[in-house]
Amino acid sequence: MKRKLFFSSIIPGLLAVFLTGLLFFFAFPPFNCWYLSWIAFLPLLLVVHDHPFSDALLGVAAGFFFHAVLLSWLFNVAGPFYLLLAVYLSFFWGIFFFLMACLPARGRIFIAPALWFFLEILQANLLTGFPWLPLGLSQAGNHFILPFASLAGVSGISTLVVMANFAVRYGWKKEGIISGLSAAIVLTVAVGFSLLSPPSPFTGQSLTVAVIQEDIPSSLHRPPERILAAHLSTTRSLLQTIRPDLVVWPESAFPDVLNENPFLVAYLQQFCEENRCALLLGGIESERNNYYNAAFLFHDGTVETCHKTHLVPYGEYLLGDRFPFIRNCYRKIAGYTPFLSPGERHPVFRIKNIPFSVLICFENIFSPIARECRASGAGALMVITNDSWFGRSLGPYQHFAHSILRAVETGSCVVQAALTGESGVVLPDGTVSQRITERGKTIFVKGSMITTIPIARAVTPYTELGDIPPAVVALFILGVLLCGKK
């Protein structure tokens, strides 16, 4: 009897967990089989039986497998400790399946995406937030639905993915036919909006940008001056044929305190004056005994800076550092104590009166930061990052996919410069117009590119209103379906 129970419940559950994780694995970048995510939950939905605790356990198992595999690049940074993050994130999946088992089956096709929306927003903000793998990210290569992000953001696309999964599972049943047909109509309208939405209006201005990718992994621990010299050499060669308005180097182009090297600052200013261009690069800035991960803009004989506002927990600052126990434990494990301070805001830079803002490292995974920059008047976004810590893994591709979503959400061009890749240009409709490549590879290659980007004028509905409209819709759906009478 026990053996029969084992094979009738445990084995199908484990198989469903594996299949769900496998489908999502190929749906996300770099594979970009986005259509798989629309049925990825199906194996799991076939084995849940509306038993809250057993369904929650299946959800936790599937969530853990999903995050452990797709975040495996974190092993290069944190070793096996990254699995603790996977455990934490898996509980959101467990909560989702627990609630689905507790709530009535009536209207489940619409209740599920509404609940997922709020859980995804909670995950993006709780404990500093880590919205690295929203389900909507799997649609970064789906140009049929991608423009919908300009209306409802990446979480809005996530709700459509969840709705499609539940419609496939329950829409054919007698009690779910009406909901299934309604879901089909909603998905059709979303696709129609995406295909028929007008292009983002531009100011008529444009900015010619040169992006440099040097392929110098941080793990090599080369002297900062040597890394900067390599970027200078490539830039000089590029400037012999064309004069861009702005040259963009990645984060860690000078992995040291730049403003404590006045000779180097003066040299870079002179370099920009001689070549009649502006230069944007990443480094460290010291100010009043604080140290910041900063972007430096050299132009017109001046130096402006932007400080990273959202730091990486346990990488750039120590969460809970007020407790000596945590400081001592972290120092023993990592061998150092993070010391960076967060910035207060993202300024809008101007070159030839053309406004743009800079996102540093993983700040581009946070929609509110990009929205804030656009709302402040930035007509384009630059992303500078050091993705060499990811190694040859899924990380750089997933990171660049966020720049695709931010471009669509904000209706502006996004230019990303990475130390080892991926570096490229994303247009407001989500099209990647250029990438630095070498023999078909985009990471751990050396190269450069020149592009001319248009400057956005009007902001998108999502830039202006954020997640408020989809949250109101989700609350309305939950209220009607959970509180309404039959």
pLDDT digits (tens, 9 = 90+) for 235-279: 999 998 888 999 999 999 999 999 999 999 999 999 999 999 999
The 10s digit of each residue's pLDDT in 153-167 is 999 999 999 999 999
Asked if 226 and 166 sit in the same domain, the reply is: no
Mean pLDDT of 389-402: 94
**What is the reported pLDDT for 2?**
43
| pLDDT tier at 457, thresholds 50, 70, 90 | confident
For residue 158, give the 3-state DSSP assignment: helix
Q: Is 301 left (phi over 0), alpha (psi -120 to 50) or beta?
A: left
If asked whether residues 211 and 223 sit together in one domain, one would say yes
Q: Please, is 486 exposed, middle or buried when counting C-beta atoms within 10 Å of its C-beta (0-12, 13-18, 19+)? A: exposed
**Would you say residue 335 lies in a domain?**
no
CB 389 within 8 A of CB 419: no
pLDDT of residue 47 exceeding 60, the answer is: yes
Q: Both tokens of residue 435?
A: 């990438």
Provide the residue type at 346 as one letter: H
Where does the pLDDT of residue 321 fall: very low under 50, low under 70, confident under 90, or very high at 90 and above?
A: low
Whether 325 maps to a domain, the answer reads no
| Contacts of residue 302, Cβ cutoff 8 Å, sequence gap at least 6 | none
Q: Does 154 lie in the same domain as 38? A: yes
Output the six-digit token pair for 304: 């402006």
Q: Which two tokens stand for residue 119?
A: 């859980």
Residue pair 100/51 in contact (Cβ under 8 Å)? The answer is: no
Phi, psi of 46, deg, nearest 5: -80, -15
376 lies in which domain range?
202-309+344-459
Query: Sign of dihedral through CA atoms 47, 50, 53, 55?
Result: positive
The 10s digit of each residue's pLDDT in 284-316 is 999 988 999 999 999 988 999 999 999 988 777
* Stretch 456-460: mean pLDDT: 88
Q: Which pLDDT score, from 0 to 100, does residue 334 have?
A: 62
- Residue 435: name the closest of 280, 233, 211, 231 by CA: 211
Among the residue ranges 68-82, 117-131, 135-149, 471-485, the one predicted with the least confidence is 471-485
pLDDT above 70: percentage of residues in the chain: 95
The pLDDT value recorded for residue 3 is: 47
- The pLDDT, as a whole number, for residue 335 is 64
At which residue do the structure tokens 């870079």 appear? Answer: 268
336 is a domain residue = no
230 lies in the same domain as 358: yes
**Spatial separation of the C-alpha atoms in residues 49 and 66, rounded to whole Å:** 21
Q: Do 151 and 210 lie in a common domain?
A: no
337 found inside a domain: no
In a domain, 316, yes or no: no
Q: Is residue 282 part of a domain?
A: yes
Count of domains for the chain: 2
Q: Do 289 and 225 fall into the same domain?
A: yes
Residues 354 and 296 in one domain: yes
Q: What is the mean pLDDT of residues 138-148?
A: 94
Contact 166, 113 (CB under 8 A): yes
214 vs 329, more confident: 214
Instruction: For residues 137 and 354, give the distance between their C-alpha atoms in angstroms, rounded to a whole number.
Output: 30
In tens, the pLDDT along 331-389 reads 776 666 778 899 988 999 999 899 999 999 999 999 999 999 999 999 999 999 999 98
Query: Taking residues 25-31, what's their average pLDDT?
Result: 96
Q: Pick the more confident residue, 354 or 79.
A: 354
Pair (192, 208) in one structural domain: no
The three-point CA angle 450-452-454 to 5° equals 155
Question: What global pTM score does this model have?
Answer: 0.94
Domain with residue 370: its CATH number is 3.60.110.10
The answer to whether the beta carbons of residues 394 and 72 sit under 8 Å apart is yes
Query: Are residues 280 and 414 both part of a single domain?
Result: yes
Question: What is the rounded CA–CA span in Å between residue 384 and residue 251?
Answer: 5
132: pLDDT strictly greater than 50: yes
pLDDT, tens digit, 9 for 90 and up, residues 167-209: 999 987 766 788 888 888 888 888 887 777 777 778 789 999 9
* pLDDT value of position 419: 94
The answer to whether position 430 is within a domain reads yes
Computed from CA positions of residues 363, 367, 370, 373, in that sequence, does the dihedral angle turn out positive or negative? negative
Which pLDDT score, from 0 to 100, does residue 7 have? 43
Phi and psi dihedrals of 420, rounded to 5?
Answer: -125, 5
pLDDT given at position 9: 67
111 and 160 in a single domain? The answer is: yes
Query: Which of 75-84, 115-124, 420-429 shows the lowest per-residue confidence on average (mean pLDDT)?
Result: 75-84
126 sits in which H/E element: none
Q: Is residue 320 assigned to a domain? A: no
pLDDT at 190: 86
Q: Which pLDDT band holds residue 97 (cuts at 50, 70, 90)?
A: very high
Tell me, yes or no, whether 156 and 171 share the same domain: yes
Q: Specify whether 357 is located in the same domain as 299.
A: yes
3-state secondary structure of 382: strand
Q: What is the pLDDT of residue 486?
A: 47
